[in-house]
């Protein structure tokens, strides 16, 4: 189950301000954690979310890794997620190629579709999430092996790089099977970060998590270093 056993992970999680009583079923526990933190994120006032999102994106684009990479896979923000519009614009301004997720729920997978600068590429798709509008040419499907950096949303992150997503496993499968080489960058507000999450073997850890307060970085297989902004 990753770095810790179920019992140890839940014990560590119990000691944090954002925690739940231990329950027998780990999946149920993760569902409750997810719901709590999504509700907490939804409760952030929109103006504050916009300000924090801009600060998070500014932190990301100031990192050397952003300057070095050219092929990006970026989620299209939905509801109260960290907003990514400014990030996409920053990529285009520097001549970078941006692809965004297109969910294929019938196959439980995603495609990376290259986003153009026309401004008319997106419309509500799977579960209302903005997705590229079909039809698109075959050459707009970015080969996953080309992706150098993947920008990932989530419900909760911890200080060991673990991520708790939305329950569908789309990003975990995509990162593990299609684009394992991509640098994984999670974007979140500080209220979405806890010391330790109970994890499962299929969870794909992040290489960086960026909030409005800090940048957390890991080398794969190591513990976190915390760089305060």
Q: Is 108 exposed, middle or buried (0-12, 13-18, 19+ CB in 10 A)?
A: exposed
- Please write the tens of the pLDDT for every residue from 184-204: 999 999 999 999 888 777 789
Identify which has the larger pLDDT, 139 or 10.
139
State how far the Cα of 134 lies from the Cα of 137, in Å rounded to an integer: 9
Q: What confidence category does residue 224 fall into, taking pLDDT thresholds of 50, 70 and 90?
A: low
What pLDDT is attached to residue 220? 76
> Distance of CA 119 to CAs 97, 176, 226, Å?
15, 31, 37
Give the residue-averaged pLDDT of 35-39: 94
Mean pLDDT throughout 83-90? Answer: 96
Which strands sit side by side in the sheet containing 183-187, from one edge to the other?
109-114, 97-104, 71-74, 149-152, 183-187, 208-210, 214-217, 225-228
State how far the Cα of 189 lies from the Cα of 104, in Å rounded to an integer: 28
Q: Which CATH code fits 6-214?
A: 3.40.50.10420
User: Cα angle vertex 201, ends 195, 206, to 5°?
Assistant: 50
User: What is the Cα–Cα distance from 172 to 36, expressed in whole angstroms?
Assistant: 21
Contacts of 224 by beta carbon, 8 Å cutoff, 6+ apart = 159, 160, 161, 216, 217, 218
Neighbours of 181 (CB within 10 A): 12
Tokens 């509801």, residue located:
79
- pLDDT of 29 above 60: yes
User: What's the confidence (pLDDT) of residue 70?
Assistant: 97
With a cut of 60, say whether residue 147 has pLDDT above it: yes
Segment 34-40 mean pLDDT = 94
Angle at 83 between CA 217 and CA 134, to 5 degrees: 110
The pair of three-digit structure tokens given for residue 9, joined into one six-digit string: 């992970």
- pLDDT bracket for residue 178 (50, 70, 90): very high
């Amino acid at each position: 189950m990753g770095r810790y056993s179920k019992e140890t992970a839940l014990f560590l999680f119990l000691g944090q301000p954002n925690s739940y009583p231990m329950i027998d079923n780990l999946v149920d526990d993760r569902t409750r954690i997810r719901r709590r933190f999504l509700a907490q994120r939804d409760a952030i006032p929109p103006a504050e979310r916009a300000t924090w999102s801009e600060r998070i994106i500014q932190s990301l684009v100031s990192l050397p890794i952003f300057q070095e990479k050219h092929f990006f896979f970026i989620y299209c923000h939905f509801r109260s997620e960290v907003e990514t519009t400014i990030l996409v614009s920053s990529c285009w301004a520097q001549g970078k190629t941006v692809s965004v997720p297109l969910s294929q729920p019938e196959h439980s997978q995603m495609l990376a579709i290259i986003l153009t600068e026309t401004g008319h590429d997106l419309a509500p798709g799977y579960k209302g999430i903005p997705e590229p509008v079909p039809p698109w040419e075959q050459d707009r499907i970015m080969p996953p092996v080309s992706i150098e950096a993947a920008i990932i949303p989530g419900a909760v992150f911890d200080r060991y790089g673990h991520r708790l997503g939305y329950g569908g496993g789309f990003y975990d499968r995509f990162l593990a099977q299609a684009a394992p080489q991509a640098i994984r960058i999670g974007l979140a507000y500080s209220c979405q970060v806890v010391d330790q999450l109970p994890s499962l073997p299929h969870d794909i850890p992040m290489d960086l998590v960026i909030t409005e307060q800090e940048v957390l970085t890991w080398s794969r297989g190591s513990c976190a270093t915390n760089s305060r902004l």
